[in-house]
Amino acid sequence: MSSFLTLQPIGFIRTQKQVKFQARHQPAETEPERNVLELLPGCDYELALRDLAGFSRIWLIWWFHRNTGWRPQVLPPRGPAQRRGVFATRSPHRPCPLGLTPVQLIKIEGRQLILGACDLVDGTPVFDIKPYVADYDSFPDERAGWIDDVNAILAAPPQFTVQFAPLAEEQAHWLISGWQIDFRPRLFELLSRDPSPHKTRRIRPRRNTPHFEIGCGAWRAIFAVEENKVKVLEIEPGYPRRFLVDPAREGMPDAAAQLAFLEFWPERA
Ligand SMILES: C[S@@+](CC[C@H](N)C(=O)[O-])C[C@H]1O[C@@H](n2cnc3c(N)ncnc32)[C@H](O)[C@@H]1O
């Protein structure tokens, strides 16, 4: 018997998330979202979908196809900066790069499944669908190891206050009013807990300065820390202008907003 398994996708997901940082670590069930899983033609999948419509939630088993390689220990995005064994996490960097996501099934139209919130990027290959059955799949009273400990830490009041300097305030307001881009909730959530450098939270020292920067989607916020006060000093696009105007890089997230931002607040050399 061979110990290898060759998998072929049954279909591909269509979502609004083009790049990995746009997808949540787990589906954001509170945000309205509509995603489509398109199953491949010519495989009798219409028949295979029979009787699924009565389930309001399904499991997707899918491929972290944008990743290569894996690490035995990874740095989870939540909680203290502590590496955990990959099998004790939902990290996308695993020896067998399979993702598992419960999604809301809104309706089925032919070979298309209309789904609610998901954490897959656009074009992700999906290998299997299974019905979610609360009786089999839900055990809310089980222990969740280090995640329970992290939840207990996060339940405590935040240790840092977060303020915006006038320039950052003006830039944040410009982004919200003109482009409906608002990452202040993410800044408050992360920086009020722990503004120290953290790879997965995309926080790092700002080169040649005493400050730090945090990646927020396609943007960066620069901040200073003094005792238990965090001051957001300014915001900047995450990509240089030359990338944003490069036709080979078409479809970069928030590209138009970033170019318009650079008209107002030009890049420094
Ligand atoms: C933390 S994983 C959890 C996935 C799944 N819910 C699980 O528990 O197996 C979710 C992250 O995977 C990343 N991701 C989504 N689609 C991907 C893909 N096709 N290839 C690589 N990474 C992907 C996104 O950055 C997303 O935030």
Is the beta carbon of 117 within 6 A of some atom in ligand 1?
no
Question: Distance, CA 119 to ligand 1 centroid (Å)?
Answer: 6
If asked whether residues 32 and 129 sit together in one domain, one would say yes
Does some domain include residue 4? no
* Model pLDDT, residue 154: 86
Nearest ligand 1 atom to alpha carbon 124: 19
In terms of residue numbers, what domain contains 73?
11-150
| Cα(63)–Cα(168) distance, integer angstroms | 39
The structure's pTM equals 0.81
Predicted local distance difference test score (pLDDT) of residue 269:
59
**Rounded to an integer, what distance in angstroms lies between the CA atom of residue 235 and that of residue 269?**
16
Percent of the chain surpassing pLDDT 70: 98
Taking the centre of ligand 1 as the mean of its atom positions, its distance from the CA of residue 60, in whole angstroms, is 12
31 has a pLDDT exceeding 90 = no
Q: Which atom of ligand 1 is nearest to the CA of 92?
A: 2
Residues 119 and 229 in one domain: no
pLDDT score of 28 more than 80: no
Residue of 103, 119, 202 to test ligand 1 pocket, by largest number of atoms within 8 Å of CB: 119
Cβ–Cβ contacts within 10 Å for residue 189, how many? 13
Q: Which residue matches tokens 């909730």?
A: 185
- Give the number of domains in the chain: 2
- What is the CA(137)–ligand 1 centre distance, in A? 20
| Residue 190 Cβ < 6 Å to ligand 1 | no
Tens-digit pLDDT profile for residues 88-122: 999 999 999 999 999 999 999 999 999 999 999 99
Q: Compute, in angstroms, the gap from residue 103 CA to the centroid of ligand 1.
A: 13
Mean pLDDT for all residues in the chain = 92
Q: What is the CATH number of the domain that holds 250?
A: 3.30.2310.20
Beta carbon of 23 within 6 Å of any ligand 1 atom? yes
Q: Assess whether the C-beta atom of 90 lies below 6 angstroms from ligand 1.
A: yes
Whether residue 3 lies inside any domain: the answer is: no
Confidence of residue 22 (pLDDT cuts 50, 70, 90): low
Q: What is the CATH number of the domain that holds 55?
A: 2.40.30.70
Mean of the pLDDT values across residues 59-71?
A: 95
Cα-to-centroid distance, 25 and ligand 1 (Å):
7
* 41 plus 107 within the same structural domain: yes
More confident residue, 29 or 145: 145
> Residue 72 falls within a domain, yes or no?
yes
204 shares a domain with 227: yes
Q: What is the DSSP secondary-structure string of 181-235?
A: ---HHHHHHHHTT--S-BTTTTEEEPTTSS-EEEEETTEEEEEEEETTEEEEEEE
For ligand 1, is residue 15 a contact (CB within 6 Å)? Answer: no
Task: Tell me, yes or no, whether 139 and 166 share the same domain.
Answer: no
